[in-house]
Structure 1
């Protein structure tokens, strides 16, 4: 079945006037579209694409920030049997051009002026397939003589009726290009069946009650498989999805939208966790006692719920008091209604998941890749194990292969890499299992634990193996450390490049009367360096000696997406950083 049809038809039939999506333009209030109106705009867009010459299996790209238009264009393209090609809004012109050319995209939706200008330049080149540029916002200045249209004008005269193109499970729905942490991005071919079967597996796994009443806030990039799959899953299940255009406004949006569900990356949880602990630490001795008492009560309750055991009446009373005095305030900062938060992209420390569970917010840690339609394993609602990546979804099989590599097969595994048969062959075993490139282990209860990326495992000159992610997670859980890159490969000891959390460091230098000139000078200040030495010593006290960071350099600025140091999902491109700061690293040795 066509994924667009699976999402639209049943929801329009069941609740045509219920809200499907929400959006906000600049400072205006949040608005909603009903399922009936949402479907009509999708059909109008689909018919306009057909009118522009888009045929079945043609590629249609989206190069834009999150928006209602993004999702409408995606579903419209799939409705007519075209294949959607998402491009990260943060990609520069060169990166976008590579994807547009490699995918042979004919039509593209853009969101802002820079994206339009990049595509206009490409449109005027002779060696490209791009024929039409659609612009989501009228604030963008366009040259209409170069086959450029505002979306509103593009669909204005289109029909509201559409016969959705029939699709089989094996038909490609989208090409999602890997973010390229190592090497050239590859177009991952995911099918209509990959998505639909994965969605059905999630609903079988969680057995949600009244899912249609849930509200999800999409703030991670829709161009990434995680947010796109989650948002489509929510719509598939009849829940509302609100689209946040600027992720920097997440704190305000949480208070305004008050979502019940939302997917996020580990850094989101680490920042909240560190912020709450810092605030508790700064409070009076009475407030500290109340916080620690509430946390203990929350943990006791959470453990009983996790194991589906009855909560004694006395503990229920204490939980109510803890909720009133402490937990409700933490939840209010997140909108007050969040209870279910899928987390992916990297590992998350057990102390963080335990903290949120104590507060009454279930962080569903999962594991997967673009090539696996996001999810292979994840925490169930009960009987999960902190510190793991959960259990395999129905229809997914996991095994540990050579060099402890995690291998998988099942519903969500990609069809292959677009136009790259040799690359596709490399990532599959002879008996058809997908090789993830990650190392891990499976316990007797079926819980998967990620050891590390096989490519990231480091061997010191003393022959000791270092798994950097675990140590990096340990250190970035602290509110004074924003980003970190470990160095150990072929070295006699572990060192690190550390990006401070400048917000917290600002408070520290004020309290310690350290004059602020610029961050380059501040991170070299003796008091600041000594503070971080003591902080790191304390944080890694339980590690083996060979795993401990012996030397570090404080960086004066964050690693950036635009400079290619991190991916749009905030994963550090280790190879890029190591090469760029080679001189800084050598000085530590």
Structure 2
């Protein structure tokens, strides 16, 4: 079964006039396309690709920010039997060229001038397989003599007739290159069956009611397996998906679009959580008491619902008051209709999930990798356990292998790494289980608990093992900390490089009349260092002594994607940062 057919044909037939996708160009209002119109554009694009010489199993790249065109191009490529190769919009020329060359991509959709210029240079190289560049925006200046087309012109004369290449479940649908915190990116081969069976198991797991009425806002990069799988799942189930081109506009988009569902990464939830708590702390004593009371009431009702127990009438009344006075204001800032938020990419502390549950928004924590078509385990809608990664999806098997490594089997597991049989062999056991590289365990109720990345575990010179992710996660729950990287391997104590949240720090400086000259100077200021010492002391009070950060250095700028310090999914590349800031780290010891 072709994934594009499974999504488009079914929904065009079922509800042709219902809205399928939404998008916004610059300062215009949000617009929608019906399923019928969406299907026509997908098939016009598919037939145009065919006319341009794209054949079954050819690779077609997408090098662009999120947009409706991104999704149209993805489905169109799969419809003709081609294999989609997403490239992060933030990838530089060298990173993009590696993916184009490794995958032998023949055509590409680009979104902006810089991406076009990189592809144009690549197209002119003798060894390049790239033959056609398609540009989604007319604002990009192109050289038509080098087989460059605006998407609008590229599809203008093609037929909207649905001609779909027949595909088996085991046929490759996409190559997703891992952003990789270590080593060279590898092309993960995911099949049509990987996606379709993963979607079916999600619907079996959650048993959603009226899923076709849901509205999702796509703001994480579609290049990443999490947002792409979630957005495709929403479309597969007949829900609407709105595409946000610039994630910096998320706050405004939430209020405009008013989504009911949206996938997000831990940092999104941490920022909301820390922001609300910070505001409550700064309120008058009366408002603070009301906030604390509301949160306590919300927690009581959330716990009863989590365990599928009835909420007494009196408690329901109190919950209504709590919602009117406190929770509705928090929810309005997020559009007012969000109720279901899948969270992945890293662990999320139980304090945060409990907070959102108390407010009336269900954060569904999950665990998975690119190699597993995103999801292996998830919180169910009820009877989930805070502080875990939930239970395996139907059709997923998980076992704990040697060194506490999480190993998996199931219909979502990749075919392998493209052109890398030896790398593929390394990540599978002799009896066919996929080795995740993460350490974990099961609780007595069958919930998976991630303890850490096996490669990231640090051993201090005192012989104690430190799992950095959990501690970093705990510390970034505070609004004054934007990014953090722990150092402990072979050291006598734990230290950290901390990137402040400069927005909050600037406010603190104003309130405390600390003059600002530059961030290089600000992070050395005694009052600011004292502030962070106090914050860190409060946050890690419950940690065992050997896990506590004893010394830290405040960094004057964020870790950067362009310099390779973080991946496009905002994970710190430890080896790069350790090497780059070796002198600063040594000074702490």
Q: Which TM-score band (shorter chain)?
A: over 0.9
Q: Give the Cα–Cα distance (whole angstroms) in 2 for the partners of residues 225 and 552 of structure 1.
A: 34
SS of equivalent to 1:297: helix
Counterpart in the other structure of 2:40: 40
SS of equivalent to 1:60: strand
Once the 2 structures are TM-superposed, how far is the Cα of residue 120 of structure 1 from its aligned partner? 0.3
Counterpart in the other structure of 1:418: 418
| C-alpha distance after superposition, 1:495-543 (max 9, x if no partner) | 0000111111111111111111111101000111111112111211111
Structure 1 window deviating more from structure 2 (304-313 vs 531-540): it is 531-540
- 2:153 counterpart of 1:156: no
Counterpart in the other structure of 1:327: 327
| C-alpha distance after superposition, 1:155-191 (max 9, x if no partner) | 0000110221110000000000000211000000000
Q: Give the Cα–Cα distance (whole angstroms) in 2 for the partners of residues 97 and 167 of structure 1.
A: 29
Once the 2 structures are TM-superposed, how far is the Cα of residue 571 of structure 1 from its aligned partner? 1.1
Q: Give the Cα–Cα distance (whole angstroms) in 1 for the partners of residues 76 and 104 of structure 2.
A: 18
Structure 1 window deviating more from structure 2 (556-565 vs 96-105): it is 556-565
| Number of residue pairs matched by the alignment | 589
Counterpart in the other structure of 2:61: 61
Any stretches of 5+ residues in structure 2 without a counterpart? none
Q: Give the Cα–Cα distance (whole angstroms) in 2 for the partners of residues 545 and 442 of structure 1.
A: 26
Once the 2 structures are TM-superposed, how far is the Cα of residue 579 of structure 1 from its aligned partner? 1.1
SS of equivalent to 2:106: strand
What is the 5 A alignment of 1:552-567? 552-567=552-567
| C-alpha distance after superposition, 1:553-582 (max 9, x if no partner) | 000111121221111111111111111111
SS of equivalent to 1:62: strand
Q: Give the Cα–Cα distance (whole angstroms) in 2 for the partners of residues 387 and 127 of structure 1.
A: 50
Q: CA RMSD in A?
A: 0.5
Any stretches of 5+ residues in structure 1 without a counterpart? none
| C-alpha distance after superposition, 1:279-315 (max 9, x if no partner) | 0000000000000000000000000000000000000
Q: Give the Cα–Cα distance (whole angstroms) in 2 for the partners of residues 163 and 21 of structure 1.
A: 22
What is the 5 A alignment of 1:419-498? 419-498=419-498
Q: Give the Cα–Cα distance (whole angstroms) in 1 for the partners of residues 205 and 515 of structure 2.
A: 55
Counterpart in the other structure of 2:108: 108
Q: Give the Cα–Cα distance (whole angstroms) in 2 for the partners of residues 531 and 18 of structure 1.
A: 53
Structure 1 window deviating more from structure 2 (501-510 vs 108-117): it is 501-510
Stretches (4+) displaced over 6 A:
none
Counterpart in the other structure of 2:229: 229
Counterpart in the other structure of 1:366: 366
SS of equivalent to 1:16: coil
| C-alpha distance after superposition, 1:122-175 (max 9, x if no partner) | 000001100000000000000000010000000000011022111000000000
Counterpart in the other structure of 1:147: 147
Q: Give the Cα–Cα distance (whole angstroms) in 1 for the partners of residues 541 and 365 of structure 2.
A: 26
Q: Give the Cα–Cα distance (whole angstroms) in 2 for the partners of residues 376 and 183 of structure 1.
A: 24
Counterpart in the other structure of 2:2: 2
Q: Give the Cα–Cα distance (whole angstroms) in 2 for the partners of residues 174 and 535 of structure 1.
A: 44
Counterpart in the other structure of 2:584: 584
Q: Give the Cα–Cα distance (whole angstroms) in 1 for the partners of residues 180 and 457 of structure 2.
A: 18
Q: Give the Cα–Cα distance (whole angstroms) in 1 for the partners of residues 569 and 128 of structure 2.
A: 29
Counterpart in the other structure of 2:389: 389
- 2:210 counterpart of 1:214: no
TM-score (norm 2): 1.00
Counterpart in the other structure of 2:21: 21
SS of equivalent to 1:105: coil
Q: Give the Cα–Cα distance (whole angstroms) in 1 for the partners of residues 41 and 163 of structure 2.
A: 14
